[in-house]
Structure 1
Amino acid sequence: MTSIWAFIVAIGVLVTIHEFGHYLAARSCGVRVLKFSIGFGQPIFKYQAHAQATEWVLSWIPLGGYVKMLDSRETDVEHVPGTDWSQAFDRQSIAAKMWIVFAGPLANLLLAFVCYWGLIAQGEVGLKPFIGPVEQGSLAAAAKLRQGDLIVSLDGKPVATWQEAQWQLLESWLVHKPVAVVTKTPQGEVHQQVLPLNQLAGEPDGEVMQKAGLAVLMPVVPAVIGEVMPNSVAEQSGLQAGDRILTVNQKPIADWQQFVKLVRASPAQPLKVEYQRGESQFQVKLLPEAIQQAGQKIGRLGAAVNMDAVDLTPYQVVRHYSASQAALRALDKMQETITFTLKMLGKMVTGQASLKAISGPVSIADAAGESADMGLKPYIGFIALMSISIAVMNLLPIPVLDGGHLLYHMAELIRGEPLPDKVLAIGQRLGLGMLGALMLIAFFNDINRYLIG
């Protein structure tokens, strides 16, 4: 249920901001806006101040929206007496039309900037890039990376947090190149190794650290449940906050990390769990819920550890910024995300990356729910990321998208006159066909992830 509401709110916000960008730009150019509609299907709300004002509409299906402007190409002039056609979209200058079209994606970029700025201005908290247990036989082991060492830089770029290290490794994996890793031992010795990410199989995703055999160094956390999520497998099995996990399938559990690893590796597989509550010991059989994360099926119980009882100070780095510094940091974050998105799109077009990376509404809703479960800040970060994705996708030169319309207006600028209606009609059909194909791929990917596995 959380995923559904988180998805609806996120899409509603993103679509409204996008369309409001078009609306404000149109009004700034003196264009009359006939209708501002959010959603599709049966309207549940309508408002129009007077006959010449904009009609505001909210419909049931929150998967899109549109701004309808006065346009002489779409309206019968003879049947609209008294209309001021100087307010029509098609009667504006090419610059004005391009501004109106571009304003939608620009509004999404501004939303992402505000979200990132607000989050960063509060201070960024991250984990120091200390290397935890290195998986035997992994690329990290082959590179002789050692537990307890601190990652200083990757390919000459300094890293301050584990998250930054993960992002840089993901970018290197995308181009399939080895990475020069500079580390520092607890004794202060500096070493340089090469992590051969060019040998890492599979499609680039957020699990790059795990697939390379790396994990962040964390304090030993006792296997004691701190919180049980409502309607989760853990709640339905009778587990409570304060329960200490003793064994899983008769295997002793030393810490919370070991317990989580076993659960994640057992989606929809029965687990016999022995736990202690007070002075008594109990046994229960659990069936972890199978969920998709980063393209992989993992198990989830819906139980969390109480991190407030764990001293993370030696493992954390907190960075504070002034308002101007936070703004620059937000712009850097946006630039990194846009660059990565374009690289990924380019590789999919050239066949260097799989189309499996395209996510459908189910995957997006799942990601929305996961971020919402983690708290308000992660959810705002998710909205910022989605807002950038929508802006980039809409600026692609595909007919029916904003980028396609910008392409039409650029052609009009070069030719000195609009493109023929026949060309526009062909472009419309091609654009709809391309979007339809993308939607089919996205739905197929969702079905493959969640139904077939």
Structure 2
Amino acid sequence: MTFLTAVLAFAVAIGVLVVVHEYGHYSVARLCGVKVLRFSIGFGKPLASWRSKSGTEWSIAPLPLGGYVKMLDERESDEPIDPADLPYAFNRKSVARRFAIVAAGPIANFLLAIVLFSGLYVTGVREPIAELGVPAAGTVAARAGFGGGETVVALRDTDAGTEQTVRSWSELRWKLIDAALAHRPIVLRATMGNRTFDYPVDLSHVAANDVDDNLLDQLGFVPGGAKAIVAGVEAGTPAAEAGLREGDELVGIDGRKVVDVNDFVAQVQAHPGQTLTLAVRRDGQVYSMPVVAKPTSIDVGGVQKTVGRIGAALGGQMPMVDVRYDPIEAVTLGVRRTWDISAFSVRMFGKMIVGEASLKNLSGPVTIADYAGKSASLGLASFVSFLALISISLGVLNLLPIPILDGGHLLYYSVEAVTGKAVPERWQVVFQRAGIVCILVLSAIALFNDLARLLHS
């Protein structure tokens, strides 16, 4: 991935999301009879602009991290408004219409996510199957009875009998994170060979602070199935001396089957200084090769640890599956996926606010640009999926009850609908300043997390 790819992917992602969000505000404002003065993509002095027949000025500005729709409003006008235009002012509309106009932006982001997910499900996506690797001893997966090589095909809550099909690793990952965040005990149905097993998995004791990108590793649920293929051999190393070659498949070690590439690496690392007997498949034949796992000191969380290494670079592609749905099922799943991710995001935000989840989960523009570039380099399907996730995040963020955001205005209108009186202007000014402080603090934390990830990458 190049820097240019990341920048272009980020620009496309932000451009699409901003246009969709602001067009949601614009379209509902027009439906509610509000005059729209300007539709701007980006902030600052316009680089280009044009005026439509409706009188709206459409502009593109140099700062691309957002946009806005400026509507006719007596409270924001520096000059007297033509009496003929007063019926079209935003502030003259009913609470219900103002609520609808403001809510339309986040709703447009959710609708975009539904469309994107549904499109992916209809056209089909190629994903790794939900095959498990060997779990670390003592982890939740190990205690549940998994040994590696099982393929998870379904999940259900222990208390409720509703079973959810698991078609791919991404589905399994998402369902496990969701269950862990809710502290729900579940049952995983998995196959191995021609046999099917049920594994009770207790997630009730998972700490909220542990619910992050590394959660599945901590629980012992690691992807498996990738064959241990030799991608290269370093000269003068035990692997070279044993006669390993590029393209060899490592199928066994000390008489036991190698489940996947991670299993092989773990076995070698666990036996520093020992001679291991490898079963190597080459040109359809299996050969036995003794190799010494050379003791090597590595840093693990600031602690020096001695592990075994043989000097072979390994690579392997996980088994893949084409996941495809009919249109009705695709839309249903698109709605459900958007809802699930939205609810998960809200819960995570709530737990971060009360200190039950780490603020390290916040990401800023640098991380988003990095992910945009990586997803774009993996193909259109990955980029579309990334775009849907960011669209949901933007929708959820804007619905937070922070005065400067859409959610803050919706809170004002809710109070007005209940009390029959608008929130006093002086209080709105105070709340807006507080909202700006909140946004600045969140932005600073996100930027700090971005820089920390860059320094440790």
Instruction: Please say whether Structure 1 and Structure 2 have the same fold, judged by a TM-score greater than 0.5.
Output: yes
For the aligned residues, what is the CA RMSD?
Answer: 3.0
The 2-side partners of 1:249 and 1:429 are apart by: 65
8 Å contact 1:150–1:185 — kept in the other structure?
Answer: yes
The 2-side partners of 1:440 and 1:192 are apart by: 43
8 Å contact 1:143–1:196 — kept in the other structure?
Answer: no
Change (3 A) 1:249 1:406: farther
Residue from 436, 448, 453 that aligns with 1:432: 436
The 2-side partners of 1:370 and 1:405 are apart by: 36
Residue from 231, 235, 247 that aligns with 2:234: 247
Q: Normalising by structure 1, what TM-score?
A: 0.77
8 Å contact 2:227–2:316 — kept in the other structure?
Answer: no
8 Å contact 1:169–1:208 — kept in the other structure?
Answer: no
- Determine the structure 1 residue equivalent to 2:65: 63
**Structure 1 residues 21-60: Cα deviation after superposition (integer angstroms, max 9, x where no partner):** 111111111111111111113421111247x711111111
Change (3 A) 1:441 1:248: farther
Q: CA deviation at 1:249?
A: 8.2
The 2-side partners of 1:392 and 1:261 are apart by: 42
Is 1:25–2:28 an aligned residue pair?
Answer: yes
- Determine the structure 1 residue equivalent to 2:219: 212
Change (3 A) 1:152 1:120: closer
- Determine the structure 1 residue equivalent to 2:295: none
Q: CA deviation at 1:187?
A: 4.6
The 2-side partners of 1:304 and 1:13 are apart by: 39
8 Å contact 1:363–1:446 — kept in the other structure?
Answer: yes
The 1-side partners of 2:34 and 2:122 are apart by: 37
Gaps of 5+ in 1: 225-244, 263-302
Please say which of residues 329-338 and 209-218 is displaced more in the overlay: 209-218
The 1-side partners of 2:435 and 2:223 are apart by: 45
Q: What SS is found at the alignment partner of 1:165?
A: helix
**Structure 1 residues 83-134: Cα deviation after superposition (integer angstroms, max 9, x where no partner):** 5111110011111111110111111111111111111111244433232333
Is 1:130–2:117 an aligned residue pair?
Answer: no
Q: What SS is found at the alignment partner of 1:43?
A: coil
8 Å contact 1:3–1:366 — kept in the other structure?
Answer: yes
Change (3 A) 1:426 1:249: farther
Residue from 19, 29, 51 that aligns with 1:48: 51
Gaps of 5+ in 2: 158-162, 251-259, 266-312
- Determine the structure 2 residue equivalent to 1:444: 448
Paired residues for 1:82-93 under 5 Å? 83-93=84-94
Change (3 A) 1:342 1:259: closer
Residue from 403, 410, 415 that aligns with 1:406: 410
Q: CA deviation at 1:342?
A: 1.4
- Determine the structure 2 residue equivalent to 1:288: none
User: Residue type of the partner of 1:358?
Assistant: L
**Structure 1 residues 60-81: Cα deviation after superposition (integer angstroms, max 9, x where no partner):** 1110111111111122454x44
Is 1:163–2:170 an aligned residue pair?
Answer: yes
Q: What SS is found at the alignment partner of 1:167?
A: helix
Paired residues for 1:188-203 under 5 Å? 188=195, 190-194=197-201, 198=205, 203=210
User: Residue type of the partner of 1:198?
Assistant: H
Q: CA deviation at 1:203?
A: 3.1
**Structure 1 residues 366-390: Cα deviation after superposition (integer angstroms, max 9, x where no partner):** 1111111111111011111111111
Q: What SS is found at the alignment partner of 2:46?
A: strand
Change (3 A) 1:199 1:341: closer
- Determine the structure 2 residue equivalent to 1:276: none
Fraction of identical pairs, as percent: 38
Q: How many residues align?
A: 385
The 1-side partners of 2:264 and 2:9 are apart by: 27
Change (3 A) 1:110 1:196: closer
**Structure 1 residues 288-343: Cα deviation after superposition (integer angstroms, max 9, x where no partner):** xxxxxxxxxxxxxxx99796xxxx8xx44434322111111111111111121111
Q: CA deviation at 1:414?
A: 2.1
The 1-side partners of 2:87 and 2:218 are apart by: 60
8 Å contact 1:223–1:259 — kept in the other structure?
Answer: no
Q: Normalising by structure 2, what TM-score?
A: 0.76
Paired residues for 1:291-306 under 5 Å? none
8 Å contact 1:177–1:198 — kept in the other structure?
Answer: no
User: Residue type of the partner of 2:132?
Assistant: I
Q: What SS is found at the alignment partner of 2:75?
A: coil
The 1-side partners of 2:140 and 2:43 are apart by: 49
Is 1:75–2:77 an aligned residue pair?
Answer: yes
Change (3 A) 1:376 1:221: farther
8 Å contact 1:130–1:217 — kept in the other structure?
Answer: yes
Q: CA deviation at 1:201?
A: 9.3
Paired residues for 1:94-113 under 5 Å? 94-113=95-114
- Determine the structure 1 residue equivalent to 2:365: 361
8 Å contact 1:139–1:212 — kept in the other structure?
Answer: yes
Residue from 398, 420, 423 that aligns with 2:424: 420
The 1-side partners of 2:12 and 2:386 are apart by: 12
User: Residue type of the partner of 1:247?
Assistant: E
Is 1:8–2:8 an aligned residue pair?
Answer: no
Q: What SS is found at the alignment partner of 2:76?
A: coil
Change (3 A) 1:219 1:356: closer
